[in-house]
């Protein structure tokens, strides 16, 4: 016996284009970890007038439409430092953050770009006003855009050839 009850005026299925607009929007970004011979990290300081002004972080930024995370990492590194990677960067981690500066969820992909040759020049973009190579121990009192636990986990992943899953910048 059929016990289903018809629902009067049931909502129809949304056309795909309208349905897609109802899905959560997530920003996707890629960052590059570059090390020197002493395992110091290349960090950039955001210039005044930007949301993260005065904070230090890895080179990187948001993906362009249709761009893949590794391609975005290479592009952002070149735009922000003038450095061109000879080889494809290796994925070393990803991070899901529920809300970043009021923009909503962000997924960051992190790549290891290898070792910087001694004397490698860095040509900063207008987005940054300083750069430097830092050991993790030097970062404890610095204002960071990328959390210290994140940088530590990424450094470990780069050294060991592993990939780390992060949530809100902390290893899981």
- The CA dihedral of 118, 160, 170, 168, to the nearest 10 degrees, is 70
Closest CA to 70 of 92, 93, 88: 88
CA distance 172 to 167: 7
CA-based angle 159:80:41, to the nearest 5? 25
pLDDT at 85: 92
pLDDT at 26: 86
CA distance 11 to 13: 7
Give all domains of the chain, ordered by start, each with its CATH number: 27-117+124-171 (3.90.79.10)
CA distance 14 to 22: 10
pLDDT at 18: 86
pLDDT at 65: 92
pLDDT at 1: 65
pLDDT in tens, the chain (172 residues): 666 666 566 566 888 888 888 877 888 999 999 999 999 999 999 999 988 899 999 999 999 999 999 999 999 999 999 999 988 899 999 999 988 778 789 999 999 999 998 889 999 999 999 999 999 999 999 999 999 999 999 999 999 999 999 999 998 8
Could you tell me which residues are beta bridge partners of residue 56?
45, 144
pLDDT in tens, 11-47: 668 888 888 888 778 889 999 999 999 999 999 999 9
110 close to 72: Cβ distance less than 8 angstroms: no
């Amino acid at each position: 016996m059929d016990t289903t009850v018809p629902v009067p005026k049931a909502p129809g299925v949304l056309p795909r284009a309208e349905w897609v607009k109802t899905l959560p929007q997530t920003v996707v970004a890629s960052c590059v970890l570059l090390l020197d011979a002493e395992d110091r990290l290349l960090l950039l300081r955001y210039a005044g007038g930007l949301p993260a002004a005065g904070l230090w972080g890895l080179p990187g930024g948001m993906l362009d439409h249709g761009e893949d995370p590794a391609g975005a990492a290479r592009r952002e590194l070149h735009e922000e430092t003038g450095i061109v990677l000879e080889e494809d960067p290796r994925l070393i981690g990803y991070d899901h953050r529920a809300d970043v500066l009021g923009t909503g969820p962000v997924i960051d992909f992190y790549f290891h770009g290898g070792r910087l040759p001694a004397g490698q020049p860095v040509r900063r973009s207008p987005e940054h006003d300083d750069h430097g190579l830092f050991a993790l121990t030097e970062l404890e009192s610095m204002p960071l855009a990328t959390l210290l636990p994140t940088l530590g986990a990424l450094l470990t992943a780069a050294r060991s050839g592993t990939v780390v899953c992060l949530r809100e910048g902390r290893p899981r």
